[in-house]
Structure 1
Amino acid sequence: MNDAEFAEQWQLVNTPLGEEWSGRARYAAAMWFHKRGDMDAETLEVYRICSRLDSADPLPIIRDRGVGEHWLKRMEEGKRG
């Protein structure tokens, strides 16, 4: 794994809410994390749903759906690796 690429994707998946195109940036990064096995399909689907809604926070939706427990823990702890 390339540390620089990981850092870039981590930054993108944490793009602040409300910035123009931020939902799409978070979704693109989520696809990257899904592809490497860090995120399940149900969690990725939430990022897809939120991709056109720049102000929508996917994390509460993931929690409400009862999916992505590992991903939520990782995000809440701010884990990069």
Structure 2
Amino acid sequence: MAREPDIAALGEEAALQWSLVNTPLGEDWSGRARYAAAMWFYRRGEMDAGTLEVYRICSRLDRQDPLPIIRDRGVGKEWLERMGSAS
């Protein structure tokens, strides 16, 4: 489960994107919402290309958690730490 950041410190847009990248698994269109938010973080330099690719692959799979795949591929170490699942 993602650690909740200090929303006030993030700013309104960042807080929105953080909530979208953490959209619960299984909700309709949740994979696409997570990918769209991941693209936002990537464009800001807060996510690497390998991590973004996993979100792209999972974008049509609303029930697929991208974090285990990111971990298995050995990419996105900083992102996993930020999401609180670096183990």
TM-score (norm 2): 0.85
RMSD: 1.5
Distance in 2 between residues matched to 1:75 and 1:34, nearest whole Å: 15
Superposed, which structure 2 residues align to 1:2-81 within 5 Å? 3-76=11-84
In structure 2, give the amino acid aligned to 1:69.
Answer: K
TM-score (norm 1): 0.92
- Percent identity of paired positions between Structure 1 and Structure 2: 76
Q: How many residues align?
A: 77
Q: Which residue identity is paired with 1:32? A: W
SS in 2 for 1:15: coil
Cα drift, residue 46 of structure 1: 0.0
SS at match of 2:57: helix
Structure 1 residue ranges (4+ consecutive) displaced by more than 4 angstroms after TM superposition = none
User: Deviation digits for residues 29-58 of structure 1, max 9, x if unmatched?
Assistant: 000000000000000000000000000000
Distance of 1:76 and 1:33 partners within structure 2: 16
Q: Distance in 2 between matches of 1:62 and 1:45?
A: 9
1:14-33 per-residue CA deviation (whole Å, 9 max, x = no partner) reads: 00000000000000000000
Aligned residue for 2:23, secondary structure, equals coil
